[in-house]
Amino acid sequence: MIDEQIHNISKYNGEIYNVGGGVNCSVSLQELTALCEEVTGNKIPIEQIPGNRVADIRIYITDNSKIKLLSGWEPEKKPREIVREIFDWIKENEIVLSKILN
């Protein structure tokens, strides 16, 4: 997609596009937590708090329709694969990351 934009800059220049998972790749925080626990093997104690805070966003699903219409782009990876790739990258770069996270 980036290569497409570079070679057709006038087609994309000056526009704003939502690029994200869309409805077919959306997960709740509870679902994402379960995926993270599954992939990492770590259990995260989470306390449920009744009610919403003022700034809470109840649901957000990216509308990719503008970029899909213009370029044909749409998400290819599912949440489990994304979490797995992030986890693997963190493990592969643990030494470098520890220098900035400690």
Among 5, 24, 15, 13, which residue's Cα sits nearest to residue 66? 15
Mean pLDDT score, 69-95 = 94
Domains and CATH numbers, the chain: 2-101 (3.90.25)
Q: What is the pLDDT of residues 3-48, one digit of tens each?
A: 888 898 998 899 999 988 888 889 988 899 999 999 999 998 888 8
* Cα 78 from Cα 87, distance rounded (Å): 14
User: Quick one: DSSP state of residue 14?
Assistant: T
Cβ 11 vs Cβ 70: under 8 Å: yes
**What is the pLDDT, as a whole number, of residue 79?**
93
Helix (H, G, I), strand (E, B) or coil at 49: coil
Query: N- to C-terminal Cα distance for the chain?
Result: 35
Residue 102 has pLDDT above 80, yes or no: no
Cβ 33 vs Cβ 44: under 8 Å: yes
Angle of helix 29-40 relative to helix 79-92, nearest 10 degrees, comes to 50
Confidence tier at 86 by pLDDT (50, 70, 90)? very high
